Structure 1
Amino acid sequence: MLYAILAYHVEDVVVSWTANQDTAVMANLHEIHEKLTGEGTMGPAARLGGTKGAFTLRGPGAGVIIDGPFAETKEQLLGFYVVDCDTREDAIAVARDLRRVNPTAVYEIRPVQLFLPGAPKEATHSLADHVRSAQS
Structure 2
Amino acid sequence: MTQYLVSMYQPDGIVPPPEVLGPIMEKIGAFNEDLQAAGAWVFGNGLLDPSSATVLKLDGGEILVTDGPYLEGKEHLGGFDILDCPDLDAALVWGRRLAEITGLPIEVRPFAPARG
Question: What's the TM-score bracket when you normalise by the shorter of the two chains?
Answer: 0.7 to 0.9
Residue 134 of structure 1 is matched in structure 2 by: none
Structure 1: distance between partners of 2:15 and 2:36: 30
Structure 2: distance between partners of 1:50 and 1:95: 22
Q: Work out the percentage of aligned pairs sharing the same amino acid.
A: 24
What is the total number of aligned residue pairs between the two structures? Answer: 112
Superposed displacement of residue 41, structure 1: 0.6
Q: Which amino acid aligns with 2:101?
A: V
Structure 2: distance between partners of 1:114 and 1:49: 29
More strand by share: 2
Superposed displacement of residue 82, structure 1: 0.4
Tell me if 1:98 matches 2:98.
yes
Residue 113 of structure 1 is matched in structure 2 by: 112
Residue 75 of structure 1 is matched in structure 2 by: 75
Superposed CA RMSD in Å reads 1.6
Per-residue Cα deviation, 1:38-82 (whole angstroms, up to 9, x for no partner): 110111111000112112111233411111114242110111100
Structure 1 residue runs without a partner (length 5+)? 116-136
Per-residue Cα deviation, 1:55-113 (whole angstroms, up to 9, x for no partner): 2111233411111114242110111100111111111111000011101x111111123
More helix by share: 1
TM-score (norm 2): 0.87
Structure 2: distance between partners of 1:114 and 1:69: 28
SS at the partner of 1:91? helix
The equivalences for 1:83-94 within 5 A come to: 83-94=83-94
